[in-house]
Chain A
Amino acid sequence: MYVAVKGGERAIDNAHALLAEARRGDPGVAELTVAQIRAQLHLAVTRVMAEGSLHDPDLAALAIKQARGDLIEAIFLIRAYRTTLPRLGASQPIDTAAMRLMRRISATFKDVPGGQMLGPTFDYTHRLLDFRLAADGPGAVPPSDTPRAMAAAGPVPHVAALLERDDLIEGAPRDDTPPPDLTRMPMELPATRALRLQALARGDEGFLLSLAYSTQRGYGRTHAFVGELRIGWVDVAMEIPELGLAVTIGEVEVTECETVNQFLGSRGAPPRFTRGYGLTFGQTERKAIAMSLVDRALRWKELGEDGTGAPAQDEEFVLMHADNVQATGFLEHIKLPHYVDFQSELELLRRLRAETAAEPEAAE
């Protein structure tokens, strides 16, 4: 008798119940709290904030818990929630020179005004599993003699600004054009740099990582140095029309990377260093570095360089495929029922096969 895979109501309810059970896992093990995730899985939390385009560590931690640790699923939850939030206005541009730094390094100078500061980095750890962390109970935490972040002892100038003084690097001209908002208007190509940077900032870390890596291996090479990488907290200020002045309404954690790229000059542009820029929410330095490399690779036209056809130079290719919520949705949707289309293909194939089977006889 006819038993098709239909009748979805009960199947869906059962799947949701199983999902809730699987998420909780062994009830004999204490349940994770959102506060624990926020405090102890900070890098996961900041990735979700960066690609979810929403700076809210509590919601990001909740999303990670609900998504069972699947970060792209968590990013998706944040994005869907973000849709429902009212848009009250735009903040003033953040001032990253006034960042309360927890980490700041330059690969291009041994020392820089404001100093170098490693901060909480994996960079020089030996990647040996630390079995003390596997033991239950409070682990030994070695004391650190530095505070979480440097107090704002005054602005710390950007490394690129030091080069700019000698005209050794292209300028970063001030542009007060209101930037487009990718979450409020459809992507428009060709895109302005502001729109490109916005798309990259919420793009998938893995996608940008691979693209940036491909430029290092010669597919659109940009000769990048990390001029500066800084991580810390910046104030967010908003103009309040009723008051007629800007008021600090909070602070956000950001990672900023600026690359210094060798540039031998082109038609109409003198030899000097050029820049790539990356800015992301949270402590997301792999993403910020990758972003700055891809940003620089995408600027080839503007700088009069030759297009080599490298993927990282192809604006449309990069921007249309960087968003992991879009990508994962479309990729995974092929598991939805397609039997109507499949049926029409099946009939076409049968007809074509019947015709080819009939042909040789007709010819003989």
Chain B
Amino acid sequence: MTGPGYNFAYLDEGTKRMIRRAILKGIAVPGYQVPFSAREMPMPYGWGTGGVQVTAACLLPEDRLKVIDQGADDTTNAVSIRRFFERTAHVATTTSTTAATVIQTRHRIPEHPLREGQILVFQVPIPEPLRFLEPRETETRRMHSLEEYGLMHVKLYEDIARHGTIATSYAYPVRVEGRYVMDPSPIPKFDNPRLSDCAAIQLFGAGREQRIYALPPHTQVVSLDFEDHPFDPGKAPHDCDLCGAVDSYLDEVITDDRGGRMFVCSDTDHCTCRRAAGHSGRLAAPLPAGRA
């Protein structure tokens, strides 16, 4: 993979140009799914090939790349994708949200607010928010073009009728600038508010489904809801057991077979930075020397 035969960031320049065109179109029409000719990448579909292609098309030699999966830099697939770009693009990498210029993510938005000039790339499995209401692509494309979103509201309403609440906890659909209904990728709905008015560029890549869509900086993104049932991002009733954060998204870790649990920030960089700054939670052990 390090061989001289491969271009910077793996893809040839023609392919990158094709992807950049799709990205630009996506930015011009926020929330619209732009078809693009996804290539077979050296990692399987489902492992983030869409995100990897978008990242490859965005990367410049001077970029500093961060890759997270489930909010963490050290999950296996995040490690694998980071290594891929270290080898094929020789770019600098980081685990710091603030130091990164490009962040590729699966299933989370970093806790720390993003700034202008940063690019957040989401890996998307099923880009079509209407897919599980209507399996046919030919149909859903028509529904988007006619702004025919009644089916989605019926689904959410049925949730409320049956469960008293909207029973969607991740990949919660949003409306972009009052026009396209968009799948925010399988992030927890806790992250949805951070999609809106974000200073960074947010790009979404779905490789297998051959779609790219985008949110330019400061786009208005509204989670679908009803007046009498407003959107609730939800939050587990716990604080982080390591850094004491009261407002971060938490992983639940089973610590024994007698019901023992602990809750820790899913965003490992956020948690580490907080602990380095002296915050500490219920079960915090001292940081290993040199880790901060």
A contacts, CB < 8 Å to B? 1-2, 4, 6-9, 11-12, 76, 79-80, 82-84, 86, 183-190, 316, 320, 325-326, 328-334, 336-341, 343-348, 351-352, 355
Contact = CB atoms under 8 A, between A and B. Distances in A.
Contacts of B164: 355
A326 to B, nearest CB: 5
Given A4-B253, A326-B45, A340 B6 contact: no
Contacts of B47: 329, 333, 336
Contacts of A7: 74
14 contacts: A8-B77, A86-B12, A190-B138, A316-B137, A326-B45, A333-B125, A337-B77, A339-B251, A340-B266, A341-B170, A344-B188, A344-B234, A345-B170, A347-B234
Nearest to B38: A186
A263 B35 CA distance: 38
Nearest to A188: B35
B46 A329 contact: yes
B125 A347 contact: no
Given A6-B74, A341-B107, A343-B250, 11 more contacts: A2-B241, A2-B264, A4-B251, A6-B268, A76-B44, A330-B45, A333-B45, A336-B69, A336-B77, A337-B76, A341-B169
A206 to B, nearest CB: 18
Given A329-B46, A352-B167, A340 B210 contact: no
B165 A351 contact: yes
Contact of A352 (B165, B249, B253): B165
Interface of B: 5-7, 10-12, 15, 35-42, 44-47, 49, 69-72, 74-80, 107-108, 125, 136-138, 163-165, 167, 169-171, 186-190, 208, 210, 234, 236, 241-242, 249-253, 255, 262, 264, 266, 268, 283, 285
A6 B40 contact: no
Contacts of B36: 186
Contacts of A188: 35
B142 to A, nearest CB: 11
A320 B137 contact: yes
Contacts of A320: 137
A347 B208 contact: no
B210 A186 contact: yes
Contacts of B283: 1-2
B253 A2 contact: yes
A80 B251 contact: no
Contacts of B15: 83
Contacts of B251: 4, 339-340, 343
B156 to A, nearest CB: 14
Contacts of B169: 341, 344-345, 347-348
Contacts of B250: 343
A351 to B, nearest CB: 7
Contacts of B165: 351-352
A57 to B, nearest CB: 20
Nearest to A9: B79
Nearest to B36: A186
* Shortest beta-carbon contacts, A-B, top 4: A333-B46, A329-B45, A8-B76, A329-B44
Given A328-B44, A330-B208, A338 B74 contact: no
